[in-house]
Amino acid sequence: MNRRLWLKNSAALTVGATALPSLLQKAYADPVARQELYLDLSHEFRAALAADALPPAAVKARLGANENPWGLSAKTKQAVGDSLLEANRYAMRATMDLYKAISEKDGVPMPQAAAGGWGGPSKSFIKLGCGSTELLNASLMHFATKGTIMVGDPCYISGNDEKFPIDKVKLTADYQYDLDAMAAKADPAKHSLIYICNPNNPTGNMLPPDKLRKFIDEVSPKVPVLVDEAYIDYATDPKTDCMVDKVKEGKNVIVLRTLSKLYAFAGMRLGYALGKPELLQDISKYTMNGFGLSLPTIRGAIAAFADADNQKMVLTKTAESKKYAMDFLTKAGYKVIPSYANFMLFPVNMKGSELNAKLMNEGVMVRNWFFDGQHWCRVSIGTMDEMKAFTEAFTKVAS
């Protein structure tokens, strides 16, 4: 989409916002919301816009947003297509089917109707959102009214300190979350939430699961912990490396998931939060309560969860592409941080923005970061062709 069209569409969206349901209007009229507490993802949009400035044929590799280049699986596309036949109806039944799929996949209870029916506060361990962004934003809005949010530095949301009261705790020398420092610092009189992204974006590395469990046991009785597991599907063993067991134990913990990565739903928009009902109820007032999801997205998600062969294919190809890029960079002398995600981060010898621009000239998109007195390049893992385009362009502009 070109810039003019994008701006036009943004304007249309703004007009559409006047039709928001009254509950949501009330939430946005909240004094806290009025202070413009919001998750600033404008850098993501800027990167997308810059890419859209290139003629589509000139884009050789989109490696800037950790997307899944293999796209929706054939079974998912079929389910999305089939759903159009019932897309004139509201998606209540499909939503219940999706709850069931998530409940079976992650082993959390199905939502129970509240006394008085589904309109009331439900006892749900699952909250659905338009991408995990809706739920992350809602969590930040809610907890920012109660105090300061502790984050690792850098992490996915550490650049939001103008939008939220944020307390940044530097990563350790090997770029891991400094859990000891975070535990020592956690103060219920000051902090309302601790945000841990695991695997971490942008570093790509991961905390040893038992260390994180111990941290949650120790700290969450004082300060709730939100574990953003956007990339957990790429971990060694997602089922045992994830923190859902802490949710089931009733700890003060919210686990956030997205389908944007392994399931290729970045443009379909679906994420969910797992947590005990009291915690999820707190963030509900800033969400659409799952009512913002389209039927094709819901039906597609159920099919995507069931398509184990496709998940395996994506993981295998991601591992192949990752190994290729890792071998190339290591051989060229770069110290890549070990990655448990669909991207990797390494320090570079020139200004990150300059590297970005030069790579973009070659039709290759990446993201740059600056922290620890050092410029870094974050490259998403794409198809083998995309990784070859990256290594060719990188060799040309960086050596």
Ligand X SMILES: Cc1ncc(COP(=O)(O)O)c(C=O)c1O
Under the rule (CB under 6 A), what is the footprint of ligand X? 66, 131-133, 136, 156, 197, 201, 228, 230, 258, 260, 266, 271
Nearer to ligand X, 271 or 277 (CB): 271
SS3 178: coil
Tell me the closest approach of the beta carbon of residue 261 to ligand X, in angstroms. 7
**Distance between alpha carbon 212 and the CA centroid of its chain, in Å?**
19
Tell me the closest approach of the beta carbon of residue 24 to ligand X, in angstroms. 18
Nearer to ligand X, 202 or 277 (CB): 202
Buried b or exposed e, range 280-289, using 16+ CB within 10 angstroms: bebbbbbbbb
Nearer to ligand X, 297 or 356 (CB): 297
Contact 297, 81 (CB under 8 A): no
Going by their DSSP bridges, the two strands 374-380 and 367-371 should be labelled as: antiparallel
Nearer to ligand X, 201 or 252 (CB): 201
Look at residues 116, 121, 124, 77 and name the one whose alpha carbon lies nearest to residue 98.
Answer: 124
The tokens describing 66, both together, are 């950790």
Going by their DSSP bridges, the two strands 343-347 and 374-380 should be labelled as: antiparallel
Tell me the closest approach of the beta carbon of residue 343 to ligand X, in angstroms. 9
Sign of the four-CA dihedral 344, 347, 352, 354: negative
Going by their DSSP bridges, the two strands 225-228 and 191-197 should be labelled as: parallel
- What is the DSSP track for 63-98? -SS---TT-S-HHHHHHHHHHGGGTTS-SHHHHHHH
Tell me the closest approach of the beta carbon of residue 256 to ligand X, in angstroms. 7
Q: Where do the DSSP E strands lie in the chain?
A: 61-62, 126-129, 148-153, 166-170, 191-197, 225-228, 253-258, 271-274, 343-347, 364-365, 367-371, 374-380
Tell me the closest approach of the beta carbon of residue 39 to ligand X, in angstroms. 9
Nearer to ligand X, 229 or 391 (CB): 229
* Separation CA 86–CA 88 (nearest Å): 5
Tell me the closest approach of the beta carbon of residue 251 to ligand X, in angstroms. 21
Q: What distances in angstroms separate CA 309 from CA 186, 228, 304, one per listed residue?
A: 43, 25, 10
Contact 274, 255 (CB under 8 A): yes
Tell me the closest approach of the beta carbon of residue 26 to ligand X, in angstroms. 24
Q: Which residue is nearest to ligand X (CB)?
A: 131
Nearer to ligand X, 341 or 387 (CB): 341
The tokens describing 133, both together, are 């962004």
Nearer to ligand X, 27 or 197 (CB): 197
Nearer to ligand X, 304 or 328 (CB): 304
Tell me the closest approach of the beta carbon of residue 204 to ligand X, in angstroms. 11
Tell me the closest approach of the beta carbon of residue 231 to ligand X, in angstroms. 7
Nearer to ligand X, 203 or 258 (CB): 258
Nearer to ligand X, 68 or 284 (CB): 68
* Separation CA 233–CA 261 (nearest Å): 8
Tell me the closest approach of the beta carbon of residue 9 to ligand X, in angstroms. 18
